[in-house]
Structure 1
Amino acid sequence: MKEKHEIGALILRVVLGLIFIGHGTQKFQGGIENIAGWFDSIGLPGFLAYIVASLEVVGGIALILGLATRVVGGLFVLLLLGAIIKVQLAVGFIGGYAYDLALLTISLFLLMNGSKLYSLDKLLFKAKNN
C-alpha cells in the first residue's frame, strides 16, 4: 500500500511541477511587465508578479526534482489561495476557481505528505530518513 501511495505522490509532484513551470514561463515570455501592470490594476503591488512567476518556475523545478516538496507545496497553497480569493472567486466555479482549487488540493497533499520516491530530498537527507 505504501508503494502505491509513493507512486501517486510522485505523479502529483511531477505533474504539479510541470503545470507551474508552464504558468511561470508563460508570464515571463508573455511580458512580465504586462502581468505586473495587471497586478497593479487589481490592487496588488506590481512587483508581486515577478515573485509569483519566479516561484512558479523555481518551485515547479524543485517539485520535479523532489527538492523541498513540503515547503514548495505550502508556498503554492498560499499562492493559490491568493489567486482564488483575489481573482477567481468572482468568476465563479466553472471557468473560475475550479482549476485553481484542484491545484490547491494537490499542493495541500504535497505539503501534508511530501513525496520521497525519486526525490533529491531523500537522496540528500538519507541519514535523517533512516
Structure 2
Amino acid sequence: MIKTTFSIKGKDYRQWAPFVLRVITGLGFLLHGWAKLSRGPEGFAKLLTQLHIPFPDIMAWITTLTEILGGAALIAGIAVSLIAIPLICTMLVAMFGIHIHYGFSAVKTIGLTPGGPVFGPPGYEINLIYIASLISLMLTGGGRWSADSFFAKEE
C-alpha cells in the first residue's frame, strides 16, 4: 500500500482544520494591526510608554507591522511555523503588560445602559487563545491551500 502525504518535516498539508484556524487567526492579527496603523502608531506608542516598554515609538511600528505582515502571511500560509514566533511574542507582551491585570475573561459586562451593555477592560483569555492557535499551527502546518503546501514534497 502506498501512502501519499504532502509534508514538510512531517506536516500533513491535506488537512482542513489548520486552514480554517490559519485564516481566522491571520485575519485577527491583520485587523488588529490595521487598526493600530489607521489610528496612527503614535497612539499605541503612548500606551507602550505607560507600560515602560523600551523604545516605544519603534516598538509601536514593529508591533503594528508584525501584526499586519504576520497576519497576511498566515492567511496566505507562508512560513507558518516561523511567522508564528513573532506573533506569539506580541501576544505575550500584551498579556503580561496589559491584560493580566484584568483577570482571565475577555468579556466583562460591568453595566447596562439604555444603549446596551458596558464592557470593562479585557483579560488575558484572548491572548491565550491566539497563542494556542499559533502553537497548533506550528505543530500541524498551515493545512490546505497554504503557500507552504505548494512547496511540500510528496513522500
> Which letter maps to 1:97?
Y
> Which letter maps to 1:61?
A
Determine helix, strand or coil for the equivalent of 1:115.
coil
| 1:111-126 → structure 2 map (5 Å cutoff) | 111-123=138-150, 125-126=151-152
Unaligned runs of at least 5 residues, structure 1: none
- TM (norm. structure 2) is 0.75
Task: Measure how far apart 1:116 and its partner are.
Answer: 3.2
Work out which structure has the larger RCO, using CA pairs closer than 8 Å and 6 or more positions apart in sequence.
2
> Which letter maps to 1:81?
L
Which structure has the highest strand share of the two?
Answer: 2
Kindly name which structure, 1 or 2, has the bigger radius of gyration based on alpha carbons: 2
Report what 2:110 is aligned to.
Answer: none
| 1:1-130 → structure 2 map (5 Å cutoff) | 6-44=15-53, 45-46=55-56, 47-94=58-105, 95-123=122-150, 125-126=151-152, 128-130=153-155
Q: C-alpha distance in 2, partners of 1:115/1:65?
A: 9
Query: Identity of paired residues, percent?
Result: 28
Q: C-alpha distance in 1, partners of 2:48/2:98?
A: 10
Runs of 4+ more than 2 Å apart: none
Task: Measure how far apart 1:129 and its partner are.
Answer: 4.7
> Which letter maps to 2:26?
G
Query: How many pairs align?
Result: 126
Determine helix, strand or coil for the equivalent of 2:16.
helix
> Which letter maps to 2:149?
K
Which structure has the highest helix share of the two?
Answer: 1
Q: C-alpha distance in 1, partners of 2:71/2:34?
A: 10
> Which letter maps to 2:130?
L
> Which letter maps to 1:114?
G
> 1:50-78: CA deviations, max 9, x gaps?
10110100011101111011111222222
- TM (norm. structure 1) is 0.88
Q: C-alpha distance in 2, partners of 1:110/1:38?
A: 30
